[in-house]
Structure 1
Amino acid sequence: MNLKDLAKTLGISETTVSRALNGYPEVSERTRKRVLEAAALAGYRPNPMARSLASGRTNVVGIIHPLLPNDLGDPMFMQIVDGMTQALEARQMDLIIAPVSSDNELRSYQHMVQARRVDGLIVGRTRLYDERVAYLAKQGLPFVAHGRTRVNEPHAWFDYDNEAGMHTAVEHLLAHNHQRIGLISAPLDMNFARQRFDSFKLRMQSAGLAIDPDYLIDGANDRRSGYLGMQKLLACAAKPTAVIVDNHMSGVGAVRALLDANITIGKDMSIIVWGRMEDSLAGYNVTTIEQPNPDKAGAKMVEMLLALQNGTPPSELQELWQPILIAGETVASNQQ
Structure 2
Amino acid sequence: MTTLRELASHLGLSPATVSRALNGFPEVGEKTRLRVLEASERLRYKANSSAKRLATGKSGMVGMIFRSSRNLLVDPHFVDFLAGLSTGLADRELDLIIHTAPQRDLLAHYERFASSGSVDGMIVSAPEIEDVRISTLIARGFPFVVHGRTGEAVPYAYFDIDNDAAFAAATSLLVELGHRRIALLNGEANLAFVVQRERAVRRIAADRGIHIPERFVSHDLMSEDQAFLHATEMLSGRLGAPPTAFLCSSTLQALGVIRAAGAVGLAIGRELSIIAHDDVLPHLRPENFNPPLTVTRSPIRMAGAALAEMMGARIAGVDPLQLQRMVGADLIVRASTGAVPMSGRDGWPH
TM-score range, shorter chain: 0.7 to 0.9
| Corresponding position: 1:110 with 2:117 | no
Q: Quote how far apart the aligned CAs of 1:315 are.
A: 2.2
Once residues 181 and 65 of structure 2 are traced to their aligned partners in structure 1, the CA distance between those partners, rounded to angstroms, is: 40
Q: Cα 1:34–1:57, aligned 2, differ >3 Å: closer, same or farther? A: same
| Corresponding position: 1:265 with 2:268 | yes
Q: Cα 1:251–1:213, aligned 2, differ >3 Å: closer, same or farther? A: same
- SS of the residue corresponding to residue 138 of structure 1 reads helix
Which shows bigger deviation, 295-304 or 66-75? Answer: 66-75
TM-score, normalised with respect to structure 1: 0.85
Deviations 1:297-317 (A, max 9, x none): 212112212222222222222
Q: Quote how far apart the aligned CAs of 1:112 are.
A: 0.8
Q: Which ranges of structure 1 fall in alignment gaps of 5 or more residues?
A: 21-25
Deviations 1:10-66 (A, max 9, x none): 99x94697259xxxxx9xxxx9x9889757xx4x54222211110010111111122
Contact in 1 for aligned 2:268/2:336 (Cα 8 Å): yes
Aligned to 1:289: 296
| Corresponding position: 1:320 with 2:326 | yes
One-letter amino acid matched to 2:306: K
Q: Which ranges of structure 2 fall in alignment gaps of 5 or more residues?
A: 25-29, 343-350
Q: Quote how far apart the aligned CAs of 1:68 are.
A: 5.8
Contact in 1 for aligned 2:23/2:56 (Cα 8 Å): no
Deviations 1:249-290 (A, max 9, x none): 433323332233332111120111112461499654221111
| Corresponding position: 1:100 with 2:107 | no
Q: Quote how far apart the aligned CAs of 1:238 are.
A: 1.6
Aligned to 2:87: 86
Q: Cα 1:88–1:175, aligned 2, differ >3 Å: closer, same or farther? A: same
Which shows bigger deviation, 174-183 or 278-287? Answer: 278-287
Once residues 272 and 14 of structure 1 are traced to their aligned partners in structure 2, the CA distance between those partners, rounded to angstroms, is: 57
One-letter amino acid matched to 1:288: V
Once residues 8 and 168 of structure 1 are traced to their aligned partners in structure 2, the CA distance between those partners, rounded to angstroms, is: 63
Contact in 2 for aligned 1:85/1:95 (Cα 8 Å): yes
Q: Cα 1:68–1:50, aligned 2, differ >3 Å: closer, same or farther? A: same
TM-score, normalised with respect to structure 2: 0.81
Once residues 322 and 238 of structure 1 are traced to their aligned partners in structure 2, the CA distance between those partners, rounded to angstroms, is: 34
Q: Cα 1:61–1:283, aligned 2, differ >3 Å: closer, same or farther? A: farther
| Corresponding position: 1:168 with 2:175 | no
Aligned to 1:23: none
Aligned to 2:345: none
What is the percentage of aligned positions where both structures have the same residue? 29
Q: Quote how far apart the aligned CAs of 1:167 are.
A: 0.6
Once residues 266 and 57 of structure 1 are traced to their aligned partners in structure 2, the CA distance between those partners, rounded to angstroms, is: 55
| Corresponding position: 1:235 with 2:241 | no
Deviations 1:49-105 (A, max 9, x none): 211110010111111122565632333322221122112212222112112222221
- Root-mean-square deviation (CA, aligned residues, Å) is 3.1
Report 1:123-134 matches (<5 A): 123-134=124-135
Task: Flag the structure with larger Rg.
Answer: 2
One-letter amino acid matched to 2:267: T
Once residues 266 and 235 of structure 1 are traced to their aligned partners in structure 2, the CA distance between those partners, rounded to angstroms, is: 19
Contact in 2 for aligned 1:3/1:18 (Cα 8 Å): no
| Corresponding position: 1:193 with 2:199 | no
Q: Cα 1:274–1:185, aligned 2, differ >3 Å: closer, same or farther? A: same
One-letter amino acid matched to 1:291: S
| Corresponding position: 1:218 with 2:225 | no
Deviations 1:207-233 (A, max 9, x none): 122223322222343222211111121
| Corresponding position: 1:308 with 2:309 | no
Contact in 2 for aligned 1:7/1:17 (Cα 8 Å): no
Aligned to 2:22: 18
Count residues with an aligned counterpart.
322
Once residues 9 and 335 of structure 2 are traced to their aligned partners in structure 1, the CA distance between those partners, rounded to angstroms, is: 60
